[in-house]
Amino acid sequence: MSKMIDLVGKRFNKLLVISLSHKTKSRVYWSCICDCGGETCVSGNNLKSQEVKSCGCLSHKLSRKDLTGQKFNLLTFIEFRFVKGSNAHWLCKCDCGTEKIMRAASVKSGNTKSCGCDKRENLIGQKFNSLVVIAFDSFGKHHRIKWLCRCDCGKEIKVFGPCLKCGDTKSCGCRNVIEDLIGHKFNKLTVKSHNYTKEGHTYWLCICDCGKTKTVSGRNLKNGHTKSCGCLLVSIMSKRRGRKHPSWNHSLSKKDRVENKNRNCDPRVKRWRTKCFKRDNYICQCCSSKIKIQVHHIYSWNKYKKLRFTVSNGVTFCTECHKEFHKKFGRGNNTRRQFTKFKKLNVTRKKR
């Protein structure tokens, strides 16, 4: 095998070898810097045979023609700007006066005929409510056109064309009179003063009956969405706590409630659960699924306290089967008869 010749510091046309880049089975690649400042990675064979002479700038210069002053449709080439990939980009001036950087190939082929002015609807001179369109301003996002308009009050404003046509913008803002709500009462809130206006919504400083202050939008005050500073919700929720809650179970003692609360943290529950899983080989006893398994009490936790931690009273269910079981038979008074009935139903479904 022939020895590798060190090419670091040697020049090949416009390329100067800086360092060794990497090796493959058959070739050695070198990192090179071009006279134009660009960096590239070239194989030693291509450098020696002069197949590669530059970073690519040489080919672009040779292929690029001077188009300055030439006109295609509505566009005139002013000056060359840059090369992206293999495409030369030029600064072009449209007949409407707009200057834009465009791909030379698309202009010459006729795919691009103007800056976009031939496609847009001319609104100059037209009147929309209090606004008269004076001139074209610029292109916004998604190629929406922004127009310079003069209001009846004398002010000038920039507006998007669709906003003028559909009537979203009717004036420079002089017609937007804010309804004074100071002194008005809405549920528990009394409007004290105007706070600020943001994105077309007016916000008011209000005092609640409880004495707290809150900033609320005029819309939420009028439609009743905001009725207080938050104290109303607190008072409603306080009436539904503990024994006053509609789902409160009066048959449970204090001890039962503590046990139910700490049920998942109880080490006895954890031991009982693992024993049931091992016995059933971590498989749902209804659908034979191994995904998201749980242990179900055959005789319910609340009613049969002595059977809570006996392994024979547990059976492995997947979450879907567990939900279906309690949908059908409810919670709290479950028995073995219900379990056998549910298992039979699942077997008949599988057969179908």
Strands 15-23 and 201-208: unpaired
Is there a domain that residue 269 lies in?
yes
Q: Same structural domain for residues 274 and 307?
A: yes
What is the per-residue pLDDT for 60?
58
Q: Are 42 and 56 in contact (CB under 8 A)?
A: no
Report DSSP letters for 211-264, one per residue: S-EEEEEHHHHHTTS--SSSHHHHHHHHTTSGGGSTT--TT--HHHHHHHHTTT
Q: Tell me which residue range forms the domain holding 84.
A: 68-109
Q: Same structural domain for residues 297 and 340?
A: yes
pLDDT (tens digit, 9 = 90+) per residue, 257-285? 777 776 777 788 889 999 999 999 999 98
Is there a domain that residue 23 lies in?
yes
Is there a domain that residue 87 lies in?
yes
What is the per-residue pLDDT for 351?
43
Which residues share a beta bridge with 34? Answer: 15
Q: Same structural domain for residues 291 and 338?
A: yes
Which residues share a beta bridge with 90? Answer: 80, 102
Q: Same structural domain for residues 345 and 282?
A: yes
Q: Structure pTM?
A: 0.34
Report DSSP letters for 45-85, one per residue: HHHHTTS--SSSHHHHHHH----TT-EETTEEEEEEEEEET
Please tell me the total count of domains within the chain.
5
Q: Same structural domain for residues 205 and 281?
A: no
pLDDT (tens digit, 9 = 90+) per residue, 3-46? 777 888 888 888 888 988 888 888 889 898 888 777 888 888 88
Q: Same structural domain for residues 323 and 279?
A: yes
d(CA 229, CA 210): 8
Cα-only R_g, the chain = 40
Q: Same structural domain for residues 286 and 329?
A: yes
What is the per-residue pLDDT for 55?
77
Is there a domain that residue 180 lies in?
no
Tokens of 267: 């080490």
Is there a domain that residue 328 lies in?
yes
Q: Are 337 and 328 in contact (CB under 8 A)?
A: no
What is the per-residue pLDDT for 176?
66
Q: Same structural domain for residues 286 and 317?
A: yes
Q: Same structural domain for residues 292 and 345?
A: yes
Low pLDDT (below 50) residues in the chain: 1, 62, 351-352
Is there a domain that residue 43 lies in?
yes
- Read off the DSSP letter of residue 235: H
What is the per-residue pLDDT for 216?
93
Residue 269 three-state SS: helix
Which residues share a beta bridge with 30? Answer: 20, 42
d(CA 204, CA 181): 8
What is the per-residue pLDDT for 316?
93
Q: Same structural domain for residues 347 and 270?
A: yes
Q: Same structural domain for residues 162 and 232?
A: no
Is there a domain that residue 307 lies in?
yes
